Amino acid sequence: MSLKLNVLSLNRTDLYAHALSLFVRSNVHKVLDLSVSQLLDFLIDVADKYTKAPYHTFYHAVDIVTILYYLCHDLNADMYLTDLDKSILLVAALCHDIGHPGFTNSFQIKTQTELAEKYGGTSTLETYSVHLTMELLDKHSTANSHVVRDTIKDLILSTDMAYHSELVNQADQLVRLVEQSRKSSSSSSNKRKHCTSTALVPSTHLALESRTSLCRILLHAADISNMARPWVISKQWSDLIVQEFFSQGDEERKRKMTISPGMDREVCSQPSISLKFGQLILPYFESLVSLLPKSHVFVDFLVANRARWERLDQHKQSPTTIRRVSSDVRATSTTTITTSPSIASATAIKYKRIRLGFRSKSFPTVLYHHHQHHHYQSNVIIEKNNLLPLVNFKSSLLYDTTKTNIESIVLYHPYDQ
């Protein structure tokens, strides 16, 4: 996996394939006792619950899942976690912004929306996402354990930015705990040097509470990682979140409300917003490096991107027309909008269609999948008793054409290279 993977380059169908591959490779379906077909059903139903807000979409959800997969499998966070921990983490990540309307918790409370009235004034949207997630878990009869569901709820609620400072403290505490564990394991290294299983290494043994804390830390890191990604990807996500911010600011102005900080297009600029956010999250990623040394890559990108934003901040930009990505098919369908100088792009957003394909015994380039009911309305419609070209994804596949379902998938991801 690579941080160069840009989910915004995928159309809707490829996005499902990508998300499915990460869940299958992480054995989520086995841990939750789902077939791959049932897992795909769940993914599609989750996607259907996301709105068409500029930023908080299913694309954002899959992006966070992608970064978590990278943290776990490439940066070695999974050495501290069980398979169940990772499965809970990925499900929480996929669902953490379900139903997000594109307006903040503060806006919900100030305008006394139905969501605020129903879900309260603390973490309103996150509580709403928890509610929708539990409904979907019920529908798919999975993750039925109270412990599993309580942990999913805990993780989703922790994505409220109001808990950022608390998570910084949790990260620092976990760093100290892991360092103590490493010292302890070092003192007994002679006893362990003949062990063949890495599972016996004490440094990887964390109590349940500490593992849950680590999951919160990782999920938050992924959720705020846009500024710590390669510039082209980081800039695209910045364009989307600023669109969402300024839309809220416009609505607040229309209602003659006090405009929320960072959301007034007449006062704030995209570079200034990005620089402030980068300054806020830098200490968090520096703490993460103490836990996962390889995660310095995020700090490196943060520093490099900060320099780019500083240069943009120094130059007054004229109004620019940028392309807003469609919420359904981001690789093939865009809408042109005119924005203020603060959203001006340093470079045009360009979407490159990534060619991905299945390798199978019976169908060399296309995976066909049998679904039992309508799932969503998009450019791809899955209907009862239809064999539908579902994904265009590079994999090895064992496929039973008689049962018309996926028996097993041995996935090979192009970004492994």
Tokens 């992480």 identify what position?
A: 26
Residues 6+ apart with CB under 8 A from 172: 287
97 marked ligand binding residue: yes
Using CA atoms in the order 312, 317, 320, 325, what is the torsion angle rounded to 10 degrees? 20
Q: Indicate the DSSP class of residue 74.
A: I
- Nearest Cα to Cα of residue 260 among 246, 249, 270: 249
What three-state secondary structure class fits 125? helix
- Distance in angstroms (rounded) separating the CA atoms of residues 110 and 107: 5
Greatest Cα pair distance in the chain: 70
56 an active-site residue? yes
- Which entry of 56, 100, 369, 371 is annotated as an active-site residue? 56
- Nearest Cα to Cα of residue 248 among 57, 101, 58, 52: 101
User: Any alpha helices (H) in 121-269, and if so which ranges?
Assistant: 124-139, 146-157, 164-187, 189-192, 208-223, 231-254
Q: Indicate the DSSP class of residue 237.
A: H
- Distance in angstroms (rounded) separating the CA atoms of residues 258 and 244: 17
223 marked ligand binding residue: yes
- Distance in angstroms (rounded) separating the CA atoms of residues 218 and 241: 21
The answer to whether residues 328 and 48 touch, using CB atoms and an 8 Å cutoff, is no
The answer to whether residues 177 and 210 touch, using CB atoms and an 8 Å cutoff, is yes
Pairing type for strands 334-338 and 321-325 reads antiparallel
**Exposure string (b/e) for 149-162, b if CB count within 10 Å is 16 or more?**
bebbbbbbbbbbee
What three-state secondary structure class fits 262? coil
- Nearest Cα to Cα of residue 356 among 119, 14, 6, 12: 14
**Exposure string (b/e) for 343-361, b if CB count within 10 Å is 16 or more?**
bbbeeebebeebebbbebe
For the annotated binding site, the residues are 60, 96-97, 223
Catalytic positions: 56
For the annotated binding site for Zn(2+), the residues are 60, 96-97, 223
